[in-house]
Structure 1
Amino acid sequence: MATYLELKAQADSLLRQAEEARRAEMKVIIDQIRASVAEYGLTPEDVFGSKRAIRRTNTAQTSPSAPKYRNPITGATWSGRGRQPEWIKGKRRERFLIET
């Protein structure tokens, strides 16, 4: 039966071999991709899509909600979304509605 150190050495050797095989295969794949790009005249936008579309999907642009409630003493407002402010907690909201 092999010892721990022998097995660890074998594992390290296998990891090195696997990394070498990956690099060799990656070189072939990259050469194929470069040949295809040159043959068809592809641009980065053709391959990866436009940066504008990526930005649009990653960042959600929302506008702030209009206030629905107003504190008659301080004039502070609240849209009804998120945490309730202290001045409205436990009270009837109808009293604070902003009339439109």
Structure 2
Amino acid sequence: MASYQELMAQAQALFAQAEDTRKTEMAAVVADIKAKMKEHGITVADLGGAGTGKRVGSKSKSTAPAKYRGPNGELWAGGPGRKPEWVRELLASGKSVEEFRI
């Protein structure tokens, strides 16, 4: 049976591999979307975005500076209300959000 350290090393290697695959796939999807937008003359404004860099349909209205940075670069101001999914996952796994304070 593998030791805890061996399993954690395997898990981290798989996570890194999954992240690399996600980035590669996302780049291909973005390139395809851009090509189709160009082909059909579609702009970001046509999609309902203002070109501000925010995702279309984003609910966040916070202007507070981020206090926490998640394991994948996610930001959170730590305000009242529902915690982001990555924070809930950290807390469920027994970690403290203070470990991720900026």
Normalised by the size of structure 1, how large is the TM-score?
0.47
* TM-score relative to the length of structure 2: 0.47
Higher Rg:
1
